[in-house]
Chain A
Amino acid sequence: MWRGNAWPATLLIVGMVGYGLFISLSMTTWGDYKQLSADPVFLESVGISLYVAVSSTVLAVLIGAGLAGFFAKQTGWAAQILAVPLFLPHLGAAYLAILYLSDFPVIGPHEVNQFSIILTYLYKEIPFVFFYLLPVYRRLDHRYEELGLMLGLSRIKRFWHGKGVFLLFPVLEAAFIVFAFTLFAYEVPALLGVTYPKLIGVYTFDLYTQGDLSRQPEAFAISVLLTGLLFLLLLLFTRMIRPLTERISKGRIE
């Protein structure tokens, strides 16, 4: 029993997630989903949310991973400085965005707001990705890359076989976490975004709390739909990556 017990956590989490999903599902009918797929407001919201989420994720992961790789050998002050945004709740970062970016000349009415949302996310997520990937970079065995060099591999191949394969899964994981977060968040886009089109988290939440009761099934339907889609995406990813990661973890025990 000193080996710990994963049951309480699993039951709590699966219970709440499962129940939330179940109840949401029960409040909807098939018709609600059909309606959604034709709803232009909904679709536009999804579109803009994807744009923001993908941009934030790609930038945060590229920069965060780059920094992690750069500072892996010796962190020095970099780690301390990069840790600061971790202490600031997202709301606080939103304030900074309001402070500095609301005076910007308007490029296009929507662009600025999207831009400020993305910047706010970057301020918080780059440090997150950095600290998430730092231990992974530290644990890399440089001799694989040295072997690649001596075997005469091209630069790209050297990177992939020597480091890339080992980094793939953690990087994708970090990316997925950031993506899911930025896609569905409420607080930051609620403060920084425009009234139309709303990002999907804001749209759905406002639909649920402010709209009349007749629109609630819509909100439930959106929850179920998006949860389902992301869950499928998750399954897909793990299925595809599984053989690779298994080979790596098994071949590494020493």
Chain B
Amino acid sequence: MRRRIITGVTGFLILVPLIGLIPSTWTWNPRLFETLATTISMIVALTLLNHSIGYITGKAIAFRTGRLIRSMELLISLPLFLPVLLLSFGLYLTWIRLGLADQFVGVLLVLLLPTLPYTIRIYTNAFQALGEQMMEQMVLIEPSRIKRFVFLTGPMMRSAIQSVTLLVTVIALSQYALVTLIGGGVVQMIALEAFPLYSGNSLIAAKEATIWLLVLPFLIYFVQLMLLEAWVRLVRRLLDGRYDSARQ
């Protein structure tokens, strides 16, 4: 009974505010739309980078031992505890020197700072849950790394993959200051358009921008969910095909 009350109250407190997002009218804000291309490509690039780096790093932290790896684990967590935005002041100057300022890649690299630590953590937990023995087992069954990932490790990490993409997407979408600074106004993401609307006069325009901010993560999440499901189904079919003769 107590459980129901608490669930109810929690649900109420969380979901009711979202009513304020329901649109009464809908207008296409063309400027928001333009930023969509950059936004989505940034998110995709950032997600891919996060997954590839996070995967191998998480694995290392989960399965290697020693003081070195422990120190690396700590160092990797640093951006979680330090003021990334403030540090980016210095980074901006470096970026200028490297020609990365006001560039897509420059922003991409900097966005790794608020995202990678979370990603790596998620993958580390996923590998630890998998267990070293399971991992060794898989290495013995399928020595080819790519095949192993496609058929074995990948499907077993579906929820981690989902969480990582979600986190990266949400964090990236929210970055106004970082993108403005490093991107110099040239790299236009949706937050840059949305931000001024919030302090402006039109609440409706602000609402529409926010809807995008909510819809994009949900959309990406569910698209990925379907892709992952299709992946697993494909893998199953391929593996079944292999052992067809055994079945009959």
Bitwise, B176-218 to A at CB < 8 A (1) or not (0) is 1100110000000001001100110001001101100110011
Binds B, one of A73-81, A106-114, A143-151, A158-166: A73-81
- Expressed in whole angstroms, the minimum distance between the Cβ of B46 and any Cβ of chain A is 13
6 tightest Cβ-Cβ pairs between the two chains A and B: A4-B59, A23-B90, A4-B60, A223-B86, A20-B87, A89-B174
Q: Are B81 and A17 in contact (CB under 8 A)?
A: no
Whole-angstrom distance between the Cβ of B123 and the nearest chain A Cβ: 9
**Interchain CB contact (< 8 A) of A84 among B14, B199, B206:** B14
Report if A24-B90 is in contact (Cβ < 8 Å); known contacts: A91-B191, A98-B198, A187-B177: yes
Quick one: which of A45-69 are within 8 Å of B by CB? Answer: 67
- In contact, A91 and B213 (Cβ under 8 angstroms): yes
Give chain A residues whose Cβ lies under 8 Å from the Cβ of B81.
Answer: 176-177, 180, 230-231, 234
Contact for B60 among A5, A12, A187, A190, CB less than 8 A: A5
Interface residues of A in 132-151 (CB under 8 A from B): 135
B14 near A81 with CB under 8 A, answer yes
Complex Cα–Cα for A111 and B113 (A): 32
Chain B positions within 8 Å of A, measured between CB atoms, are: 3, 6-7, 10-11, 14-15, 17-18, 20-21, 53-64, 69, 72-76, 78-91, 93-94, 109-110, 112-113, 116-117, 120, 125, 127, 135, 139, 145, 166-167, 170-171, 173-177, 180-181, 191, 194-195, 198-199, 203, 206-207, 209-210, 213-214, 217-218, 221
Q: Of B55, B64, B87, B175, which one neighbours A227 at CB under 8 angstroms? A: B87
Q: In whole angstroms, how far apart are the Cα atoms of A5 and B120 in the complex?
A: 12
Q: A89: which B residues are within 8 A, CB to CB?
A: 170-171, 173-174, 191, 213-214, 217
What is the bound-complex CA distance between A136 and B34, given in angstroms?
Answer: 43
When the two chains form their complex, are residues A91 and B7 in contact, meaning their CB atoms are under 8 A apart?
no
1/0 contact trace for A236-254 toward B, CB 8 Å?
Answer: 0010000000000000000
**Chain A nearest Cβ from B148, distance in angstroms:** 8
* A226 to B85 alpha-carbon distance, docked (Å): 12
| CB under 8 Å from chain B, chain A span 1-53 | 2-10, 12-14, 16-17, 19-25, 27
Q: In the bound complex, what is the Cα–Cα distance between A16 and B94 (angstroms)?
A: 10
Which of chain B's residues have a CB closer than 8 A to the CB of A205? Answer: 85-86, 177, 181
What are some 11 contacts across the A-B interface (CB < 8 A)?
A: A4-B55, A6-B61, A9-B116, A23-B93, A94-B198, A96-B210, A184-B85, A190-B177, A220-B90, A227-B83, A231-B81
Contact A13 B87 (CB under 8 A): no
Report if A10-B176 is in contact (Cβ < 8 Å); known contacts: A3-B63, A95-B198, A184-B85: no
Which residues on A are within 8 Å of B, measured CB to CB? Answer: 2-10, 12-14, 16-17, 19-25, 27, 67, 70-71, 74, 76-78, 81-82, 84-92, 94-96, 98-100, 123, 127, 135, 176-177, 180, 183-184, 186-187, 190-191, 201, 204-205, 208-209, 219-220, 222-223, 226-227, 230-231, 234, 238
How many angstroms from the CA of A187 to the CA of B139 in the assembled complex?
45
Q: Return the chain B residue nearest A19 by Cβ.
A: B94
> Contact at A67–B10, with CB atoms within 8 Å?
yes
Check A9 against B80 for contact (C-beta < 8 Å).
no
A176 vs B83: C-alpha distance when bound (angstroms): 12
The reply to whether B203 and A99 form a contact with Cβ atoms under 8 Å apart is yes
Contact in complex: B20, A100 (CB < 8 Å): yes
A-B pair number, CB within 8 angstroms: 246
Please indicate the chain A residues that have their CB under 8 angstroms from the CB of B79 in the complex: 13, 17
Given A81-B11, A91-B176, A98-B198, is A13 in contact with B116 using a C-beta cutoff of 8 Å? yes
Residues on B with C-beta less than 8 A from A231 are: 78, 81-82
| Chain A residue contacts of B210, Cβ below 8 A | 91-92, 95-96
B11 contacts A4, C-beta separation under 8 Å: no
Report if A24-B57 is in contact (Cβ < 8 Å); known contacts: A3-B64, A19-B94, A89-B213: no
Q: Does B91 contact A20, Cβ atoms closer than 8 Å?
A: yes
User: Are A6 and B57 closer than 8 Å at their CB atoms?
Assistant: yes
Among A7, A9, A25, A96, the residue within 8 A (CB) of B17 is A96
A167 to B61, CA, bound (A): 21
